[in-house]
């Protein structure tokens, strides 16, 4: 059976969906734990947390669509074997095909109809701003109706977004009765957030069918498309790094705090040494060594997407190996206190082994710290990717990321007139993602930290 596409599962895709399944399993397990369930209920009643969670859910949806990869089937003559394209695309690429394929020659401003730079017109010595190939192509040569067309499309998008939002709003109003005021506030926050998202999406879809909403970059790619593609990279850096960080931090932190002695000395020496090395220099050195390995073994990768994915996973591994020290120190300090409590001493007196004590008595009482650190470190890791890509030691150049967009736009800030929209778009998307993560982390900290209650 010759399928129209060949499904491609990158390592980062598999790990991302495995992490999603683990989160779903954790949520199911949490429902059976009264204490954890009560804490999450408090989070669910916080309007700010629910608004932030709604924004994060939209980002996760975009990242999930961008993690479903495939290779399109190439046209073939009857009787010939089927071949598939070398280029690996995602479902998000297919949904955003007009933005991805409708490229211009170079820079153009948001909603513009002409290039940003003057050029010599073909067949003459006159210099002018050439018309865009796709942006505003439906307008006449005089461009008289540009402003009216933008307003009309904006109003159409707002109306469409409002119509799509109304059923969701009515369902939320029907879900919770008027008796629970706290839940109504949380639902109202969700509805208000969704209203903003639907309105912005409607306007972007309406304007995007005729213009480049956020302009184009140096090679003519749509900046809105690049911004949406960067979400997956930020999410992967923020989540997959925790797969490396958590096991190391939990194991070493608990061992140092519970066993003490020379084990504590060795672990303290290890994370003190790591902290004494400048983080950017350590990560840069590790990334450059990993890049040498990847470059010297091109036969390991069938496509350029696999090669870029390998560098992304290597960056996650390196970030995880260098960012576990803070959580390990916290867990060590808490374990030092817990091991002296009566219930731990009683278990030890009854002959319970140290591993069982750590698993059944120590670790459950530290999970609130692990969860708080996990959520709060997410935003820091997203920003770390931007900084590393900015200095040239981040993800592969073919991988679209916020840091790559900022790095590509920094040189254009000095030109006159300034090309500002690529930097502004990357900053706004990254700011919204980090802000939502921080607001949600604050709610989780207040719900799970006993000292905050």
Q: Left if phi > 0, otherwise alpha if psi is -120 to 50, otherwise beta: which for 260?
A: left
Average pLDDT, the chain: 84
* Max Cα–Cα distance, the chain, nearest Å: 95
Name the residue with higher pLDDT: 3 or 70: 70
**Nearest residue to 444 (alpha-carbon basis) of 114, 99, 39, 130:** 39
Residue 106 pLDDT grade (very low, low, confident, very high; cuts 50, 70, 90)? confident
Q: What is the pLDDT of residue 156?
A: 93
- Global pTM reads 0.86
- pLDDT digits 0-9 by tens, 115-136: 887 777 776 777 778 888 888 8
Most confident of 57-71, 286-300, 312-326, 360-374: 57-71
Residue 2 pLDDT grade (very low, low, confident, very high; cuts 50, 70, 90)? low
Residue 154 pLDDT grade (very low, low, confident, very high; cuts 50, 70, 90)? very high
Give the whole-angstrom CA distance, residue 317 versus residue 244.
6
Angle formed at CA 363 by CA 361 and CA 365, multiple of 5 degrees: 75
Residue 449 pLDDT grade (very low, low, confident, very high; cuts 50, 70, 90)? low
Rg value, the chain, Cα:
26
Give the whole-angstrom CA distance, residue 104 versus residue 220.
4
Name the residue with higher pLDDT: 18 or 143: 18
Give the distance, in angstroms, between the CA of residue 186 and the centroid of all CA atoms in the same chain. 24
E-assigned strand segments in 155-281: none
| Residues 114/146, Cβ–Cβ less than 8 Å | no
- Does the pLDDT at position 61 exceed 90? yes
Alpha helices in 277-303 (DSSP H): 279-295
74 in helix, strand or coil?
A: coil
What is the separation, in whole angstroms, between the first and last Cα of the chain? 60
Distances (CA, A) of 418 to 222, 410, 430: 18, 10, 21
Q: What is the pLDDT of residue 228?
A: 93
**Nearest residue to 237 (alpha-carbon basis) of 294, 311, 166:** 311
Angle formed at CA 181 by CA 176 and CA 182, multiple of 5 degrees: 95
- pLDDT digits 0-9 by tens, 272-284: 888 888 777 788 8
**Nearest residue to 382 (alpha-carbon basis) of 323, 336, 342:** 323
Mean per-residue pLDDT, 1-11: 77
Most confident of 24-28, 68-72, 287-291, 393-397: 68-72
Q: What is the pLDDT of residue 452?
A: 53
Ordered by start, the domain boundaries in the chain are: 227-452
- pLDDT digits 0-9 by tens, 253-264: 999 888 888 888
- pLDDT digits 0-9 by tens, 179-225: 556 567 888 888 899 999 999 999 999 998 888 999 898 888 999 99
Please give the share of the chain, as a percent, with pLDDT higher than 70.
96
Q: What is the pLDDT of residue 54?
A: 93
Give bridge partners of residue 118 from the DSSP assignment.
none
Please give the share of the chain, as a percent, with pLDDT higher than 90.
15
Fold for 227-452, please state it: MetI-like fold (1.10.3720)
- pLDDT digits 0-9 by tens, 78-92: 767 777 778 888 999
Residue 231 pLDDT grade (very low, low, confident, very high; cuts 50, 70, 90)? very high
Give the whole-angstrom CA distance, residue 357 versus residue 363.
9
Residues 6+ apart with CB under 8 A from 386: 394, 401, 402, 403, 406, 426, 430
Name the residue with higher pLDDT: 369 or 451: 369
Q: What is the pLDDT of residue 419?
A: 84
Give the whole-angstrom CA distance, residue 349 versus residue 223.
64
Angle formed at CA 221 by CA 315 and CA 301, multiple of 5 degrees: 40
């Amino acid at each position: 059976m010759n399928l129209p596409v060949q499904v491609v599962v990158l390592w980062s895709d598999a790990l991302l969906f495995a992490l999603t399944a683990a989160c779903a399993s954790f949520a199911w397990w949490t429902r059976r734990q009264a204490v954890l369930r009560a804490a999450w209920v408090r989070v669910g009643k916080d309007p700010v947390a629910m608004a932030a969670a709604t924004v994060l859910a939209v980002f996760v949806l975009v990242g999930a669509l961008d993690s479903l990869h495939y290779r399109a089937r190439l046209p073939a003559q009857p009787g010939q074997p089927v071949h598939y394209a070398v280029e690996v695309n995602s479902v998000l690429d297919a949904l955003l095909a007009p933005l991805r394929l409708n490229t211009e020659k170079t820079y153009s401003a948001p909603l513009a109809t002409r290039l940003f730079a003057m050029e010599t017109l073909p067949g003459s010595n006159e210099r002018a701003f050439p018309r865009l190939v796709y942006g505003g192509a439906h307008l006449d040569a005089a461009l008289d109706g540009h402003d009216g067309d933008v307003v009309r499309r904006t109003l159409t998008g707002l109306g469409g977004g409002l119509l799509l939002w109304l059923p969701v709003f009515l369902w939320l109003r029907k879900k919770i009765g008027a008796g629970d005021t706290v839940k109504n506030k949380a639902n109202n926050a969700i509805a208000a957030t969704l209203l903003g998202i639907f309105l912005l999406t409607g306007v972007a879809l309406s304007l995007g069918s005729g213009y480049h909403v956020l302009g184009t970059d140096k090679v003519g790619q749509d900046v809105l498309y690049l911004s949406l593609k960067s979400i997956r990279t930020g999410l992967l850096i923020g989540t997959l790094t925790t797969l490396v960080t958590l096991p190391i931090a939990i194991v070493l932190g608990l061992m140092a705090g519970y066993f003490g002695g020379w084990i504590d000395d060795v672990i303290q020496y290890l994370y003190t040494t790591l902290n004494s090395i400048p983080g950017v220099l350590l990560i840069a050195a590790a990334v450059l060594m990993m890049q040498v390995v990847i470059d010297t073994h091109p036969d390991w990768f069938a496509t350029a997407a696999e090669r870029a994915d390998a560098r992304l996973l290597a960056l996650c591994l390196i970030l995880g190996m260098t960012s576990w020290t803070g959580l390990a120190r916290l867990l060590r300090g808490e374990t030092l206190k817990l091991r002296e409590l009566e219930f731990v001493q009683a278990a030890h007196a009854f002959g319970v082994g140290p591993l069982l004590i750590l698993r059944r008595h120590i670790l459950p009482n530290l999970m609130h710290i692990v969860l708080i650190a996990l959520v709060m470190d997410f935003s820091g890791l997203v920003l770390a990717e931007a900084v590393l890509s900015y200095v040239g030691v981040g993800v592969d150049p073919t991988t679209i990321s916020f840091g790559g967009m900022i790095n590509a736009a920094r040189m254009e800030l000095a030109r006159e007139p300034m090309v500002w929209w690529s930097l502004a778009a990357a900053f706004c998307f990254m700011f919204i993602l980090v802000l939502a993560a921080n607001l949600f982390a604050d709610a989780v900290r207040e719900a799970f930290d006993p000292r905050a209650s």
